[in-house]
Amino acid sequence: MRIKYLVIAVKYIFNDLTRNRMILLLLILIPTVFYLTAWLTIADRPTVFTLATVKSEPSITVSEREVMLVFLGLAASGPIAAYLALNLMQRNTLVKKRLILAGFQTSELLAAKLIITVFIITLVGSFISLMGLLFFEPGNFAGMTIGYILCGFVYGCYGLLIGSLIKKELEGVLMILLLANIDVGWLQNPVYYAGSTNKIIITWLPAFFPAQVSITSAFTNYTIGPAILESLLYGIVFLSISVLLFWYRMRIIKTK
């Protein structure tokens, strides 16, 4: 891998991505709407929920509004990161194929995509977490932010995977929304989890461990190390599959 070519590829992909004004709008609009809606409509009353990754004291009582604010931060960070990663993988495929034919290595383009993806995920998670400070003060801000970033990482890798499998944007967006609405948009709500009769299903969903990192950090001082590790492993599985698919597609085109 040549550093000069990698830097050129990173600059090209980043500039191309930022030309899409809809992406920049989504980054600001979605978390703003989510937070404002929660603040205006959810009562500030005590609620009991379960911390699935904490065995010694599984249930705690906190403000229902604050729990929903953390949950909606996760619900915003995951789909946004997935859509950005999907757009990154699908955008200008023919141009990338020409770059390979012109002398770029597949590994250089792939590494550039990964660098941009990690940067975007970190930016999205940090921005949403900072915006949340306007509405409430978490117990462990850094830990809550890490949870948002990990949720973005898992769903960003899922977006890369869908972008590697599906060529058209509409179908890709529907695949993202299908999983996100069930997972981070619904079942990872700690209130739903506490009353669920089949908790094992929820624990296998992509956003489970990132959600536990953010929620545990926001309201307790329990350790989040194992949940961080599980989140990374889940994202790496998605990432590994997407890397293999991208590499395969580019190598096939190059030999023609």
What is the full DSSP assignment across 127-165? HHHHHHTTT---S-HHHHHHHHHHHHHHHHHHHHHHHHH
Cβ-based burial of 144 (10 A; exposed 0-12, middle 13-18, buried ≥19)? buried
Cα 123 from chain centroid (whole Å): 11
pTM score of the predicted model: 0.90
The answer to whether the CB of 153 falls within 8 A of the CB of 231 is yes
Strand partners, 46: 63
Q: What is the CA 53 to chain-centroid distance, rounded?
A: 20
Is the distance from CB of 173 to CB of 86 less than 8 angstroms? yes
Report the number of distinct structural domains present in the chain. Answer: 1
The residue segments making up the domain with residue 23 are 3-254
Digitized pLDDT (tens) for each residue of the chain, 256 residues in all: 677 777 877 887 777 777 777 777 777 888 889 999 989 999 889 888 878 877 765 678 889 899 999 999 999 999 999 998 998 887 766 666 666 766 777 777 788 888 888 998 999 899 999 999 999 999 999 999 999 999 999 999 999 999 989 888 889 999 999 999 999 988 998 888 777 888 889 999 999 999 999 999 999 888 899 999 999 999 999 999 998 888 777 664 444 4
Q: Is 149 exposed, middle or buried (0-12, 13-18, 19+ CB in 10 A)?
A: buried
DSSP state of 59: E
